[in-house]
Amino acid sequence: MASIDELTLYEQYLALADKLRIADEDKSKWVCDKVATAVEARNRERELEDRIEKERKEHEIRVLTLKETANHSDNASGGGAATEKPSKKPRFPMFNSLVQDIDVYLENFSRHATAAKWPVNEWPSLLFNLLQGSRSLAVIIERR
């Protein structure tokens, strides 16, 4: 059974066939071929739109699932910020015994390291790199 759209297409192609002066014996076949081609094109377009919509919905579901999984893993580990790795190089100035007091320097280092989430067990090696120089080490040894 032909739809209203197909009938409209048939009438449009019939009018076009008349304008193109297609012979009566060929006109019916030509119009039917054109209508069939147009209907097939519309069906393919609808199928494509349906597939795009289906894929869009599947993508939304995947994104929501990933977000849910990420939120779940963050909650299970106590939050995402706690799992951050410390930076490789400390962004903290070297100790200068001529200008700075070692106790103040160590207190500032402690605050900075805590804020940067450096593991406490790595503080000695980080401090050792910042306290290089015989004068710095001498001040530390002298104070302790």
Candidates 90, 93, 92, 106; CA nearest to 139 is 106
- Please say which residue of 56, 76, 96 terminates a domain: 76
Q: Report residue 98's pLDDT band, with 50, 70 and 90 as the boundaries.
A: confident
Range(s) of the domain holding residue 131: 84-144
Domain total for the chain?
Answer: 2
Check whether 69 has a pLDDT greater than 60. yes
User: Mean pLDDT for the chain?
Assistant: 79
3-class SS string, 127-144: HHHHCCCHHHHHHHHHHC
Q: Is 90 found in the same domain as 59? A: no
CA 3 to chain centre: 45
Write out pLDDT tens, residues 121-136.
Answer: 888 888 887 877 656 5
